[in-house]
Amino acid sequence: MTSQPRRTSLFDQQKAAGARCINFGGWEMPVQFTSIIEEHQAVRTTCGVFDISHMGEVFVSGPRAFDWLQRMMANDLAKCPADGAQYTFLLNERGGVIDDLIVYRLAEDNFLLLVNAAKIEEDVAWLEQHVTDGVTIDNRSDTMSALAVQGPQAPRVFREVFQCEMPARNSFVALEKCRGAVIAAGTGYTGETGFELFFANSLSGDLWAAILKAGAKPCGLGARDTLRLEMCYPLNGSDLSPDRTPLEAGLGMFVALHKTDFIGRDALAAQKAAGLTFKLVALRMTEKAPPPRAHYPVLVEGRVVGETTSGALSPTLGEGIAMAYLPPDLAQHGQTVQIEIRGRYFAAVVEKKPFYHPSSARPA
């Protein structure tokens, strides 16, 4: 028997607002409210709000929490101060990506892990498999909700809703709103300035209404995907997988090989020493073509050399864009390729990442 998809605490409000929903990783989520292009442009020019309550909130605490997370995660948590946030990876022994996530350091030995929706159970099981004394894992994903507000006007929306300044990039503040506790973080997945909120399910309706009243446009997963793809931000399960490493994905800056001991380190060190056999590249269509999607063959001189991992029509560029793993000798900027789409072959070129440079974006 097929299980019914789960719904966030905002499902009824979103349907009333005209949301068209799809099954996404076992969740019935809005793919769009008006149109993907309109919502995409709202985030690029004004402000949009996304329901990201399907993502998981896992709290890790205890006197040995820091040391343990240093071994479990690829990035160097010592560089993340209290009230800071850090992008990192949960890796297997081969250096492959189980999940990419953000760690929020709530206190010296108290952390919030924001994990991908489809990976909550797997991540928690992996963490519990390796847990040691002095570490407590508390999965609160079922009782918490989250919203992402992104776009140039996000700071104004934050001030209107919370009567204070938006937290800086990769930092967070704890606030009281709607008679409840809210973690407000200067993080996001679009490249634009913005913030994310984490809170109890009971606060969802009031916070959603307050953000809409402040002028944010409701946005769905369709715009979220085109926005992140223009920035070449990877999607776990598509651009990242247990069979690909962060080094192959071009994300070595988030891997602290100087740490002497974390799961997957030896495999990554060996891969770096031997040289990469594949690199994740950005591809731009150079002729009129249907939008590229995932798993389309990529060819050079008639030979299949890889396949796309993500693809879409870029609303900003008006051209098809994609990402794919290619051999290093074919991963150079300006390399011409073909992408097979429905039995036809269309020209594309390897581009520098990202496709789009928002003026308000700051490096993570």
Tell me whether domains 11-54+142-230 and 57-139 share a fold. no
Q: For residue range 34-88, what is the model confidence (pLDDT) as tens digits?
A: 999 999 999 999 999 999 999 999 999 999 999 999 999 999 999 999 999 999 9
Does pLDDT of 346 surpass 90? yes
The SS3 of residue 50 is strand
Q: Do residues 80 and 108 lie in contact, with contact meaning Cβ atoms separated by under 8 Å?
A: no
Q: Do residues 353 and 283 lie in contact, with contact meaning Cβ atoms separated by under 8 Å?
A: no
How far apart CA 148 and CA 39 sit, in angstroms, is: 14
Q: So where are the chain's domains?
A: 11-54+142-230, 57-139, 277-351
pLDDT range class, residue 363, cuts 50, 70, 90: very low
Per-residue pLDDT, 359: 64
Other CB atoms within 10 A of residue 272 CB: 15
Does pLDDT of 353 surpass 80? yes
* pTM for this predicted structure: 0.95
Q: For the domain covering 11-54+142-230, report its CATH number.
A: 3.30.1360.120
Beta strands in 171-241 (DSSP E): 172-177, 180-185, 194-200, 217-219
The verdict on domain 277-351 having CATH code 2.40.30.110 is yes
Average pLDDT, the chain: 95
Does pLDDT of 360 surpass 80? no
Does pLDDT of 217 surpass 50? yes
Mean pLDDT of the region 177-189: 92
How far apart CA 14 and CA 11 sit, in angstroms, is: 5
Mean pLDDT of the region 112-131: 97
Q: Do residues 179 and 165 lie in contact, with contact meaning Cβ atoms separated by under 8 Å?
A: no
Q: Do residues 31 and 21 lie in contact, with contact meaning Cβ atoms separated by under 8 Å?
A: yes
- Helices marked H in the chain — which ranges? 11-16, 36-45, 65-72, 120-130, 154-162, 204-213, 221-230, 265-274
Per-residue pLDDT, 362: 36
Instruction: Give phi and psi for 287, each to the nearest 5.
Output: -145, 160
The verdict on domain 57-139 having CATH code 3.30.1540.20 is no
